Chain A
Amino acid sequence: MTEPTLRVENLHTHFFTRQGVVKAVEDVSFSVAPGKILGLVGESGSGKSVTGYSIMGLVDPPGRRVAGRILLGGDDLCAMTSEQMRSVRGRRIAMIFQDPMMTLNPVLRIDTQMIEAIRAHTSVSRVVARERARDALAQVGISAPEERLLAYPHQFSGGMRQRVAIAIALLNKPELIIADEPTTALDVTIQAQILFEMQTLARDSGTALIWITHDLSVIAGLADEICVMYAGRIVEQGTVDAVLDAPLHPYTHGLIDSVPSRGRRGEPLRQIPGMAPSLLDPAQGCAFRERCSRADSACIDQPALSIPIAGRQLRCFHPMPSAAIA
């Protein structure tokens, strides 16, 4: 097996707010191999973005990584100085955000925003940086890139802006790209195009990709592996096919059930009952307990991570009955 690009080990990120400690990320571990796509799925508020920011070293105060290791090609990001971390950001790891309308600075031209991203890491002339910026725009399918470099963000559509953000992420040929719901704000056709392009890109360039989404159907056709997050913890992990075909965790099962599908046309959508729990002072035991049909007295304890089958990980005392395990 190849050495993973990124390995996250027992990451804990907490927000020390006035009301108390918000445990946004609790004991999260996963890894991504070069050229592979890891899908990070979960309801909104489950800690996906904070996981991404933790890797980038961009958790806003009052938040802080309190424990764990984040290894990028063997270097522990948690042990780095802020200057070392700055030089990792944008060069070895790039991040793309959810809302393309908000990620580009409205008062700076595209060329400024691209050239600065190159020159923050490599001492090249403006002219050379500009050529690289132009090529990156062309690479993500923006026509007349030379002229578009002179434009301001508001002169682009949402889809085009997200392409610009992707082009910026690609500029320094990073080992890892973290894409935080980058297509959620776009319409379906553009979403499909961008998904396809990103997939090709990861495969061709060997870039590892973490794709954050709340939408299982996006992950299904895209990712190699999947991590399901619930209330700050990863509750189930495995290859996409294995997890989607035979979910073991009741929460994953509920998520799959709530995706509209052709086979069940006409039936009402099945929703997971209840609401995502608050991460501020969570109750003891399994966080899904209140909403779980399989919960019993055992679930008052926090289930540990187990390996029910090779290549799978799970946090549940009573996994779903599944042909795969039986």
Chain B
Amino acid sequence: MPAFVIRRLLQSVLVLGVMSLLVFAGVYAIGNPVDILIDPQAGQADIARAISALGLDRPLVEQYLIFLRQALAGDLGNSFVYNVPAIQLILERMPATLELALAATTLAVLLGIPLGLWAGLAPDSWQGKLIMSGSILGFSLPTFWVGLLLIMLFAVELGWLPASGRGPTTEFLGVQVSFLSWDGMRHLILPAINLALFKLSLIIRLTRAGTREALLQDYVKFARAKGLSNARVVGVHVLKNIMIPVVTVIGLEFGSVIAFAIVTESIFGWPGMGKLIIDSINVLDRPVIVAYLLVIVFLVILINLAVDIVYSLLDPRVRIGEAQA
């Protein structure tokens, strides 16, 4: 196992290196930040000074090398707009995004697995059909539209929940979180539901398909032939088998939850990385965009590593294969 982890970490460094190049080149290709940052009325000399202060007058390769050298020292450049380290901006906003993503994933798992099991165990019942129709809706309705609808209904019409913002935060293990206070929780609910909807549908479908497949397997019939209760057959024999694909997909999708949070955060004014990146793209704040993309790639790599480890813990066949390799 340690050898496996080290190998994966080395691969990750390589991926990060390649990504930094791609991101840097890609971001450089979009527009000229000076046009946006500098007052259009400014004189030629002011513009030149700004360009040289931002280092934009040097050759592209040199800019990249400077960026890389500083990046290795943990410095991804200062935000053009806020004039503070870009990485610091991202890290400040990260807890809000992670909290939202975790809340959405938890919601999707807690609802998705039981609903998927139900739909898989009774596919022809009206409940099973309802669950499946619901999951098709969850798949096909656009996130921003559902978000607006949620706001219209629960915030505007009914006035039960706030429409925007994060509310008060409480310190928990050194980070600021919303879910510990009632008011914070009320702010979290709508965006979490909005972000969870797509994953919920995905988990329902995966769980249902896995359940239906497992029920046809001989090991389920053999488990019944042993006289096990229905609860044990479903809760242990079926569930343990379908958890393997479900956990893998939930893990791998966590990265995309963080990425999709951009839409939800924009709609609900949630002060996370997603909202920051949209604002930064609007003003072409390159260091922040680059830092955001690199942080996301880094997170995804970490998540994939964690998923691989959990996967090998869940599936004994993989665990043995790895030990022999």
Contacts and interface: CB of A to CB of B under 8 A. Distances in A.
**Contact size class for A?**
20 to 34
Interface stretch (A22-30, A100-108, A235-243, A313-321): A100-108
Contacts of B223: 105
B158 interface: no
Nearest to A52: B225
Nearest to B218: A102
Interface stretch (B86-94, B226-234, B253-261, B263-271): B226-234
Contacts of A107: 240-241, 244, 314-316
A97 B218 contact: yes
Nearest to A104: B219
B317 interface: yes
Interface stretch (A40-48, A86-94, A259-267): A86-94
Interface in A274-300: none
A116 interface: yes
A315 B221 CA distance: 33
B218 A108 contact: no
A154 B226 contact: no
B227 A88 contact: yes
Contact of B241 (A56, A87, A105): A105
Interface string B275-307: 000000000000000000000000000000000
A97 B317 CA distance: 22
B320 interface: yes
A220 interface: no
B225 A90 contact: yes
B217 interface: yes
A95 interface: yes
Contacts of A109: 316
Contact of B225 (A95, A105, A108, A121): A95
Nearest to B321: A154
B229 A86 contact: yes
A104 B241 CA distance: 12
Contact of B226 (A99, A102, A106, A117): A117
A106 B225 contact: no
Given A108-B240, A152-B316, A116 B232 contact: yes
B222 A165 contact: yes
Interface in A13-58: 56, 58
A116 B226 contact: yes
Contacts of A165: 222
A155 interface: yes
B91 to A, nearest CB: 39
A116 B221 CA distance: 15
A121 B316 contact: no
A152 B237 contact: no
Given A103-B218, A107-B315, 11 more contacts: A87-B227, A89-B224, A89-B226, A106-B317, A108-B236, A116-B228, A116-B232, A117-B227, A120-B228, A152-B320, A165-B222
Interface of B: 217-219, 221-229, 232, 236-237, 240-241, 244, 314-317, 320
Interface of A: 56, 58, 86-91, 94-95, 97, 99, 102-109, 116-117, 120-121, 152, 154-155, 165, 168
